[in-house]
């Protein structure tokens, strides 16, 4: 089972984490970039709209799409973020 990771936005694409998973900020940033790289054109447009409308309250690492993608990805590589 996956749990929410407590984090605070400290800049665009930068997260300060208090995570039981042991993931570093750079690892979360890398996962976010990997997620963005696999989005299709329509999803990228949707992402841009969400970021524009939600501003600083938008957090990619807590978005439904990212969480579902990371859950599927971690199942494939056998890495689970657990509390």
Instruction: Determine the average pLDDT of the residues in 50-66.
Output: 90
3-state class (DSSP) for residue 66: helix
38 in Cβ contact with 44 (< 8 Å): no
Residue 49 has pLDDT above 90, yes or no: yes
First-to-last C-alpha distance (Å) of the chain: 9
Instruction: Determine the average pLDDT of the residues in 19-48.
Output: 83
pLDDT at 2: 54
66 in Cβ contact with 35 (< 8 Å): yes
């Amino acid at each position: 089972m996956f749990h929410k990771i407590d984090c605070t936005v400290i800049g665009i694409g930068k997260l300060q984490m208090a995570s039981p998973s042991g993931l570093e900020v750079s690892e979360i940033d890398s996962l976010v970039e990997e997620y963005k790289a696999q989005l299709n054109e329509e999803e990228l447009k949707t992402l841009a709209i969400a970021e524009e409308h939600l501003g600083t309250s938008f957090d990619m690492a807590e978005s439904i799409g990212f969480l579902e993608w990371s859950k599927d990805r971690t199942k494939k590589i056998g890495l689970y973020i657990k509390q």
